[in-house]
Chain A
């Protein structure tokens, strides 16, 4: 029920914003804020009611619901929440709220339509995290794209229409391959058992011909790899993240990338254990390469948003490593990494957005010495920069160290390459701080430092990141039973 309720809140909130936006341009942001705050508090209440450690008799699922939808194909409206879904849904709603704050003063035109798109993207994401029917999953997977396309194309900066099309084509192309992969699996299951179903649990353990299974798995892998992104399929990301409005970047980096990781963890490996194991050497290589590649390219950027975008590629490399190492330690690390990266990347994008609003440029060369002029903004910027480089005490450190430990056990080479990537992270993060906030101050007057709204939002995010680094146990507790229930990840 929780998932359906959240979906209803977000979808109807979006429609309400649209209708209200035609009368009053300021009303939609309040509607979006209330809808997201309501949804988030509902989910937090749901979390607080679940027993600690989740030693439930019914397995890892905190809640499940299944209604017939298209019986012709054995498609059901099947939703479920386990620890993994719950953590990522919480992250999505939290960052959605932050995206509203980030767009508060930036979005002035067509506000109703903007918040419609924002809330509907989030509805798609919540659906992706909760769907346990492959058709339903695919539906939400596609559903979150269109509003995101509009956010980038209509409210973005510069040549954003092109970036939006690129984003859409990459993800939609991946989506169609995902559909083909799902259909091969479902029809293979039908041929073997005579039972046509898209149910996740029924399809787990389908014995397909290994060669066919590999192709089907590849379809799913490509779809998720585009989203994550895996290096070689990442080229849509820097453009889309850089040219999107701040709220859009927050959602892209903070949440949408996580759907790719979620797809890998929830669907790819459990549905195709053998076929994905065959892909593991390549995928581990790509993961390690991504960590290095993203780090090196991030260092080469002078545009702050591009820098953060490339750093996302680097951080998501750790997640890919963890997925294909596929043991409990690495996967737990991946979950922490997802949350931590979501928050720090979103924070950095918000800071970049604020810099653009004030300086009308994102070129770090044109900055320098901002600490004196914008002390609060710069301090928060430093905080998120050191969080992203994995300073102990922040969530990213916990995530990376767990992933590296987990990966090292079975794949020492990949882990060693990845460790060198951590060094590049430190270099670009510190270089960013150095270029933008330190140095001689430029001749600028009348810069407005962060007011209470921005300080509160970013301070809250920093607190969550710090909390995750100092006491990650609640997240680990929540994730452990969910991950342990995945085949082969119990150890």
Chain B
């Protein structure tokens, strides 16, 4: 491997070093503050190495990875999201410790001097697992080969499984963990089988070679290729929780620790979107009507079902889970269109969606005790005005209201849809956005209604507050002055497509 290739690979190398450093640090001294600081420094170094890497990009590094603008763009996004997640997790644990301390005190009174949840209050492993998941997502965004794709997807999913079930004393968390393990195993199985069939039909595992073969064959040629394409789409759709392969999502989102849910809804989804984008572009899938028809149906179903089912929920995390299903449908509308504008739209929408989703789940994580039911959010305006205002802004952004990032993102989707004359998806997008407003407004309305009984305000942890404030500022900046980010995305994605 040449020096230039090493420079290109530097962000991923640094990301891979983070978990190792963390494990060594934990072996030396168990301190969650130290580990938090090291994780954040690690992500900062990853971001710093992007500049030299961008100078040599695009570059193929080994047969497995392609460090191009899209990969670097996504690495930047994932590293920032990882940092936000870590900060929210630290804030969330601070809040839950309040409750646990009381519990421990009560136990002391009956003579049990050992706190039950000592392992849960020493959350260092949490950071190790999260940095592994971040590494998986980064490699996934850069993979140009089915082997890399599969390995990184497994790294991402397997690190997420213990994160989801982290509060293992809670039955809901266990249920969520098991569900995620089983269903992500099924998705992986589908994907792997599809890859095998494609290999049998084409004889290569490189995305570009497979894409060329698919594009050349025009209509799906052999039964191998047909089966392979179908299974790969199904596997990816399941990972993206597109309707009708969405049913695992609400339970997992509800049971997981809220900060992890934010990560799951943003990074884990975004990485698969990037893979899908690469596959579609490589195989010139826009010429193949059946594939596009399948994706269009998935998009329409996800937009409608996600939004309609969100109406029926009373748990805020479940509402946001269904809303994320709908948002994946929105993103598919951009993927349905070909060309530079579409890739740019996907890029911008990902940024906007990441910011709003991480912020929304982050706000839920910082809300303090009382559960995630919508009634627990009553009067948040009075207890925590800034938190409530940030949360409301995140929801407005998800709904696509100006002056937020989501507004520009939705504008991109409409522009792409109208430009490509995708009238049916655009019409559904209009309808689905209107349905979506119902539940976003319902949550916001609840924030500003007086509480049923007085709840004590819990101080928001400084770590989480910093992350939420940063995300809020980013949200407004992206909505009010999107030109710089658009320029960045254009230069990052422009060459690739």
Contact B483 A70, beta carbon cutoff 8 Å: yes
Contact B486 A72, beta carbon cutoff 8 Å: yes
Nearest Cβ on chain B to A21's Cβ, whole angstroms: 10
Which parts of A194-217 form the interface with B (CB within 8 Å)? none
Residues of B within 8 A of A168 (CB): 437, 441
Contact B414 A72, beta carbon cutoff 8 Å: no
Complex Cα distance, B490 from A176, in Å, reads: 26
Residues of A within 8 A of B407 (CB): 139, 142
Residues of B within 8 A of A184 (CB): 418
Contact A172 B426, beta carbon cutoff 8 Å: no
Given contacts A73-B415, A180-B414, A180-B418, contact A113 B487 (CB under 8 A): no
Given contacts A143-B403, A173-B430, A179-B414, contact A72 B445 (CB under 8 A): no
Complex Cα distance, B449 from A183, in Å, reads: 38
Contact B385 A177, beta carbon cutoff 8 Å: no
| Residue B482 lies at the interface, judged by CB distance under 8 Å to chain A | yes
Complex Cα distance, B284 from A259, in Å, reads: 46
Which parts of B396-412 form the interface with A (CB within 8 Å)? 396, 401-403, 407, 411
Contact B438 A165, beta carbon cutoff 8 Å: yes
Contact B441 A149, beta carbon cutoff 8 Å: yes
Contact B483 A71, beta carbon cutoff 8 Å: yes
Q: Quick one: closest A residue to B385, CB to CB?
A: A22
Complex Cα distance, B437 from A172, in Å, reads: 9
Contact B483 A150, beta carbon cutoff 8 Å: no
A21-35 vs B, Cβ < 8 Å mask (1 yes, 0 no): 010000000000000
Complex Cα distance, B441 from A147, in Å, reads: 12
Q: Quick one: closest A residue to B483, CB to CB?
A: A70
Q: Quick one: closest A residue to B448, CB to CB?
A: A154
Q: Quick one: closest A residue to B444, CB to CB?
A: A150
Residues of B within 8 A of A154 (CB): 445, 448-449
Interface SS of A by simple majority = helix
Nearest Cβ on chain B to A335's Cβ, whole angstroms: 28
Q: Quick one: closest B residue to A173, CB to CB?
A: B434
Residues of B within 8 A of A153 (CB): 441, 445
Contact A139 B403, beta carbon cutoff 8 Å: yes
Q: Which of A145, A154, A183 has the most CB of B within 10 A?
A: A183
Nearest Cβ on chain B to A150's Cβ, whole angstroms: 7
Residues of A within 8 A of B487 (CB): 72
Nearest Cβ on chain B to A454's Cβ, whole angstroms: 29
Number of A-B contacts (CB under 8 A): 70
Which parts of A21-76 form the interface with B (CB within 8 Å)? 22, 68-73
Number of interface residues of B (CB under 8 A): 28
Contact A113 B402, beta carbon cutoff 8 Å: no
Cβ 8 A contact of A169, one of B381, B438, B482: B438
Contact B426 A143, beta carbon cutoff 8 Å: no
B431-459 vs A, Cβ < 8 Å mask (1 yes, 0 no): 00110011001000100110000000000
Complex Cα distance, B379 from A113, in Å, reads: 13
Complex Cα distance, B434 from A169, in Å, reads: 6
Complex Cα distance, B380 from A113, in Å, reads: 14
Contact B448 A146, beta carbon cutoff 8 Å: no
Complex Cα distance, B433 from A254, in Å, reads: 29
Nearest Cβ on chain B to A193's Cβ, whole angstroms: 15
Which parts of B447-497 form the interface with A (CB within 8 Å)? 448-449, 481-483, 486-487, 490
Which parts of B13-63 form the interface with A (CB within 8 Å)? none
Contact A177 B403, beta carbon cutoff 8 Å: no
Cβ 8 A contact of A69, one of B415, B438, B483: B483
Q: Quick one: closest B residue to A145, CB to CB?
A: B401
Residues of A within 8 A of B433 (CB): 172, 176
Given contacts A139-B402, A143-B403, A168-B441, contact A113 B381 (CB under 8 A): yes
| Residue A161 lies at the interface, judged by CB distance under 8 Å to chain B | yes
Q: Which of A68, A72, A146, A161 has the most CB of B within 10 A?
A: A72
Contact A183 B415, beta carbon cutoff 8 Å: yes
Complex Cα distance, B419 from A33, in Å, reads: 46
Residues of B within 8 A of A140 (CB): 402
Residues of B within 8 A of A380 (CB): none
Nearest Cβ on chain A to B171's Cβ, whole angstroms: 35
Contact B403 A72, beta carbon cutoff 8 Å: no
Given contacts A180-B414, A187-B419, contact A72 B490 (CB under 8 A): yes
Cβ 8 A contact of A183, one of B414, B438, B441, B490: B414
Nearest Cβ on chain A to B351's Cβ, whole angstroms: 14
Complex Cα distance, B483 from A135, in Å, reads: 14
Residues of A within 8 A of B441 (CB): 149, 153, 165, 168
| Residue A110 lies at the interface, judged by CB distance under 8 Å to chain B | yes
B280-299 vs A, Cβ < 8 Å mask (1 yes, 0 no): 00000000000000000000
Residues of B within 8 A of A68 (CB): 483
- Contacts beyond the supplied A70-B486, A168-B437, A173-B430: 14 A-B pairs with Cβ under 8 Å: A69-B481, A70-B483, A139-B407, A143-B402, A143-B403, A145-B401, A149-B441, A153-B441, A154-B448, A154-B449, A173-B434, A179-B414, A180-B430, A183-B418
22 A-B contact pairs sorted by A residue (CB < 8 Å): A22-B385, A69-B483, A73-B415, A110-B448, A113-B381, A143-B402, A150-B448, A154-B448, A154-B449, A161-B445, A168-B441, A169-B434, A169-B438, A172-B434, A176-B433, A177-B430, A179-B414, A180-B414, A180-B430, A183-B415, A187-B415, A187-B418
Q: Which 5 A-B pairs have the closest CB atoms?
A: A183-B418, A176-B430, A139-B402, A72-B486, A142-B402
